[in-house]
Amino acid sequence: RYFAVRVGDNYLASDLASRVAKVSSANCLPATLELVKEIKSKYYPLLWVGIRIGNRAWTDQIDGLSNVIDSLHKDFPKLGVVFDGFSLPADRAAQSSDRQGYSEILARENEVVDRIVEKLQQRQVEVGIVNIIGRHIFDANVWAHAIDVYLSPYGSLQHKVGWFANKPGIVHTNQTLLQSPAEYVWTAVED
């Protein structure tokens, strides 16, 4: 005879996002902070591109994303692109991705990035490329705060930049979600 009540907010509080950013900066690789600084000095804007395989994946993402990047490059000749996908959990970052069973997903996501980069090279589109697929979540959160705008599949990849870093962007998703969008997709961050 219990009655369960959910206590809390229906959005990500700004103080929580700030704490996540501080912990990420303190625990990311030192080389990540240096690379972020270098890339931000060379490229603008920085576009975060989320790569997803399996369910909820853009079926033609290689052609679609290379077309989007090519189009943006025409208007932004100093465009930089940060490819994101699966991030190693914080408690497993020091361990080998092979031992954790992540090698297949990382290989498949990196194959998508490689094919997008090949298409861009064929078109002679020169953009700054950073691939953070398979890096640990601390590094991903640092990069999420460094980018200017994102294009990502709806879900956990988008939360890194849209919720924790509160960056503007566009999500792509399936028809079901588009026909009945959940309220929290648009109002997930405080203020």
- Give the residue-averaged pLDDT of 149-156: 87
Instruction: For the sheet with 128-131, list strands across it.
Output: 128-131, 80-84, 46-50, 149-153, 169-172
Higher-confidence residue: 35 or 170? 35
Residues 66, 118 contacting (CB under 8 angstroms): no
**Helix residue ranges per DSSP H, 92-148:** 103-122, 137-146
- Give the residue-averaged pLDDT of 147-161: 86
Residue with tokens 């501080």, as numbered in its chain: 22
Residues 125, 173 contacting (CB under 8 angstroms): no
The whole-angstrom distance between residue 19's C-alpha and the CA centroid of its chain comes to: 19
Helix axes 103-122, 61-75, angle to 10 degrees: 50
Residues 6+ apart with CB under 8 A from 139: 24, 28, 29, 32, 87, 132
- pLDDT confidence tier of residue 177, bands split at 50, 70 and 90: confident
Higher-confidence residue: 176 or 74? 74
Nearest to 79 by CA among 49, 99, 57, 101: 49
Stated pTM of the model: 0.88
- Give the residue-averaged pLDDT of 29-47: 96
Residues 40, 46 contacting (CB under 8 angstroms): yes
Residue with tokens 């950073």, as numbered in its chain: 130
